[in-house]
Amino acid sequence: MQIHVVTQGDSLYSIASTYGTTMDALINANELDAPNQLVVGQALVIPIVGQFYFVQPGDSLYSIAARFGISYQELARINNIPVNSTLNVGLRLYIPPGSRPEIIANAYIEPIGDTVSQALENAARKHTPYLTYLAPFSYRVNRDGSLAAPPLNEFKEIADANNAYLMMVITTLEEGAFSAELGHIVVTVQEVQNRLLDNIVNTAQQVGFTDVHFDFEFLPPEDRDAYSSFLAKARERLSQEGLLMSTALAPKTSATQEGAWYEAHDYGAHGAVADFVVLMTYEWGYSGGPPMAVSPIDQVRRVVEYALTEMPANKILLGQNLYGYDWTLPYVPGGQYARAVSPQQAIALAREHNVPIQYDTTAQAPFFRYRDAEGRDHEVWFEDARSIQAKFDLIKELGLRGISYWKLGLAFPQNWLLLQDNFTISKRNNS
Q: How would DSSP label each residue in 309-330?
A: TTS-GGGEEEEEES-EEEEESS
Q: What percent of the chain is modeled with pLDDT above 70?
A: 100
pLDDT confidence band for 113 (50 / 70 / 90): confident
What pTM was computed for the model?
A: 0.94
Tell me if residue 31 is catalytic: no
- What sign for the dihedral angle of Cα 191, 196, 201, 207? positive
pLDDT confidence band for 424 (50 / 70 / 90): very high
CB-CB neighbours of 37 under 10 Å:
13
Whether 204 shows a pLDDT value over 60: the answer reads: yes
Catalytic residue among 74, 121, 175, 217: 217
pLDDT score of 430: 60
pLDDT tens, residue by residue, 376-412: 999 999 999 999 999 999 999 999 999 999 999 999 9
Q: Taking Cα atoms as reference points, which of 378, 389, 379 lies closest to residue 412?
A: 389
CA–CA dist 210, 238 (Å, integer): 10
Mean pLDDT of the chain: 96
pLDDT score of 98: 84
Distances, alpha carbon 147 to alpha carbons 15, 115, 186, in Å: 53, 17, 12
Whether 431 shows a pLDDT value over 70: the answer reads: no
CA–CA dist 91, 109 (Å, integer): 45
pLDDT tens, residue by residue, 124-157: 999 999 999 999 999 999 999 999 999 999 999 9
Query: What are the chain's domains?
Result: 2-95 (3.10.350.10), 102-322+385-425 (3.20.20.80)
Q: Could you tell me if 346 and 380 are in contact, meaning their C-beta atoms sit under 8 angstroms apart?
A: yes
The three-point CA angle 376-377-380 to 5° equals: 130
Among the residue ranges 64-73, 128-137, 368-377, the one predicted with the least confidence is: 64-73
